[in-house]
Structure 1
Amino acid sequence: MRLKDFLLFFFSLAMTIALSTPSRAESMSLVGFGDSLMAGYQLPPEDAFPARLEKALKDKGIDVAIANAGVSGDTTSGGLARIDWSVPDGTKGVILELGANDALRGIPPEETRKNLEAMIARLKGRGVAVLLVGMMAPPNMGAEYAARFNSIYSDLAREQNLAFYPFFLDGVVTKAELQLEDGMHPNSQGIAVMVERILPAAEQFVKTLQKGD
């Protein structure tokens, strides 16, 4: 066989194999957008919430890639300022967790709500779905402040028809053995509890996104 004929045969064979081999679907792109609780304060990257949730979903056969867009100390106003560039094009869904630092600083709940509402509107405007994660005001802020703050998340989820998980630190907030020494941030064991508890909501969120494709 002449070299020219051999090369032509080899090229045709390679093209046939390439076209007949099914391409691997890309992982669904999600973003964990929040503060130090999302970022994984004082934890190795692989123990941060987005990484642990990604692994938990993959263990269930759900192919996702969850980027960590958590920034320690971030408030809802800080989140609003960076939401556009922190959530890249191609993102299918955002796990939105912000507001804890607002409450710690005594920021008026009305401002927190306004900022969250604006972030949700921007994400929706880009076709990005939102799983809203709720927070609760610390007890030292008083009952009146807590009532105004704590209702923000359920109200927004209902009004905006969002996937919703009521309290990010559920199962962790009162247990010292699941927290760092500061008594505010989860340790690795605490992250494991958070992931276990949010997993059904996250799984349903992703399945809803898959149905929309």
Structure 2
Amino acid sequence: MSFSTLVTSALLTSTPSYAATVLILGDSLSAGYGMSEEQGWVQLLRNDLPEYQIINGSVSGETTAGGLRRLPNLLASSPVNLVVIELGGNDGLRGFPPKQLKSNLTKMIELSQQSGADVLLTEIMVPPNYGPRYTKMFNDVYHQLASDYDIELVPFFMQEIAPNPDLMQRDGIHPNEDAQPKITQWMSPWIIDAVKK
């Protein structure tokens, strides 16, 4: 066997082969705000699912408009099998119109599907102090899009975490380190099922 063949063989064997590539497109809830990246739920998911390449495209403070701007480059950087969209919380906190939220999410879903990726949409809820009308209109966007595009809607993973102060940071908005394994346990089966479809 020649030297060049040995080098080529070594390079091939050193490159990990993944069963699927998953892109998490989210905000501070997925970016691990207030802690190191190793402590965040996305890294914990990588530890649990080493057979998947999991790309964390989450940015703290991100809105759906920001996610939409970044998505084309993220999709172009690597072939992606599944896009998990966890965005909208910052839109809600800023009181953005649900119509704008729906438009941005729609474009992200379509861009992902056009690239050949499946989509997993995570439900986002806003605090009730925004009023029942806005709260319902906001939440309905996610259910409408899941139905219109026949994609899975993951129930909001903060539902059981947010009411528990032991799982929240002092700001009362972001989950703490103790909450991260719980988010991983919540998201993992949804992601596994979506990849295997």
TM-score (norm 2): 0.88
Superposed CA RMSD: 2.1
**Structure 2: 5+ residue runs without aligned partners?**
none
SS of residue paired to 1:202 = helix
In 2, the alpha carbon distance for the partners of 1:207 and 1:187 equals: 30
Partner residue, 2:185: 196
Partner residue, 2:87: 98
> Do the aligned partners of 2:24 and 2:83 also contact (CA within 8 Å) in 1?
yes
Amino acid paired to 1:155: Q
> Do the aligned partners of 1:153 and 1:166 also contact (CA within 8 Å) in 2?
no
Does residue 30 of the first structure (1) align with residue 19 of the second (2)? Answer: no
From the CA coordinates, give the structure whose radius of gyration is larger: 1
Partner residue, 1:137: 126
> Do the aligned partners of 2:122 and 2:153 also contact (CA within 8 Å) in 1?
yes
Partner residue, 2:64: 76
Partner residue, 1:127: 116
> Do the aligned partners of 1:171 and 1:193 also contact (CA within 8 Å) in 2?
no
In 1, the alpha carbon distance for the partners of 2:49 and 2:14 equals: 22
CA offsets per residue over residues 181-204 of structure 1, 9 Å max, x none? 111111111111111122221221
Partner residue, 1:65: 53
SS of residue paired to 1:201 = helix
**Structure with greater contact order relative to length (CA < 8 Å, sep ≥ 6):** 2
- Which stretch shifts more, 167-176 or 73-82? 167-176
Q: Deviation of residue 110 (structure 1)? A: 1.0
- Which stretch shifts more, 22-31 or 63-72? 22-31
In 2, the alpha carbon distance for the partners of 1:67 and 1:24 equals: 16
**Structure 1: 5+ residue runs without aligned partners?**
1-9, 209-213
Runs of 4+ that moved beyond 3 A: 22-25
Partner residue, 1:205: 194
In 1, the alpha carbon distance for the partners of 2:185 and 2:173 equals: 19
In 1, the alpha carbon distance for the partners of 2:160 and 2:187 equals: 11
> Do the aligned partners of 2:81 and 2:195 also contact (CA within 8 Å) in 1?
no
> Do the aligned partners of 1:53 and 1:195 also contact (CA within 8 Å) in 2?
yes
Amino acid paired to 2:102: R
Q: Deviation of residue 52 (structure 1)? A: 1.3
Partner residue, 2:105: 116
Amino acid paired to 2:157: F
Alignment coverage as a number of residue pairs: 190
Q: Deviation of residue 142 (structure 1)? A: 0.6
